[in-house]
A = this chain, B = another copy of it.
Amino acid sequence: MYKNKQKLLIAVDCIIFGFDSEQIKLLLFKRKVEPYSGNWSLVGAFINENLSLNEAAQEILFEYTGLKDIYLEELQTYSKVDRDPGERVISVAFFSLTRINEIVEESVEKFDAHWFNLDEIPELILDHREMVDNAITKLRQKARYQPIGFELLPEKFTIPQLQLLYECIYNKKLDDRNFRKKIFSYDILTKTDLKDKSTSKKGAFLYKFNKKKFDSFIANGYNFEL
């Protein structure tokens, strides 16, 4: 059909964020193939004829973390002509939010992966550092108007946990009284009668996030600033 048109190599790279109840983390992998074998890198793969970019990204994530149906969002394309010294490759970066505790350990270990704090990211191959920086910026921006925080927390979580997560995202302390007021005003949480006593004697009630209310919240045109 489009005969004399040039074809190019196209790849996807995945930025994988997690939250371990203390810090936001980035999952990086020690590369095992040339070029750059032994260096830290995002995970990625070339695209073939059979998959959309999204499907390809989901597949990569499954391969490396054992997780399916991960929150995944396109970040942007990276297409500088000489970004890969080997050969020209256009890469589409995706960023994903995961619950660290759900990640299948064997998958991660098999690939020599490691969770890094955002302020301790090692040197990365190619333009992967730029991708990561852009993803962090986007994560912070996005958090202001979409409640993506939930993708990073376990199914049941406490208010102090949720607050801590947002403190990590915004990188500043929040007032706990105002935080509670605000989050409850959105009316998207369901209280359980369970308590998490891992961090205090009193224990903190566990909440679940109410999918139905949440969806209508989204549908209306939310503004999630905290």
Contacts and interface: CB of A to CB of B under 8 A. Distances in A.
Interface stretch (A59-67, A72-80, A106-114, A151-159): A72-80
A90 B90 CA distance: 11
Tell me the number of copies of this protein.
2
Contacts of A53: 77, 79, 90
A103 interface: no
B52 A10 contact: no
B2 A89 contact: yes
Given A53-B90, A90-B53, A6 B77 contact: no
Interface of A is mostly: loop
A47 B6 CA distance: 7
Contact of A47 (B8, B49, B86): B8
Interface residues of A, number: 32
Given A76-B74, A77-B74, A49 B8 contact: yes
A145 B223 CA distance: 12
- For the complex of A and B, the 10 pairs showing the least CB-CB separation, nearest first, are A1-B86, A7-B7, A53-B79, A1-B87, A52-B79, A5-B46, A6-B48, A74-B76, A52-B80, A8-B10
Interface of A: 1-2, 5-10, 35, 46-54, 74, 76-77, 79-81, 86-90, 92, 144-145
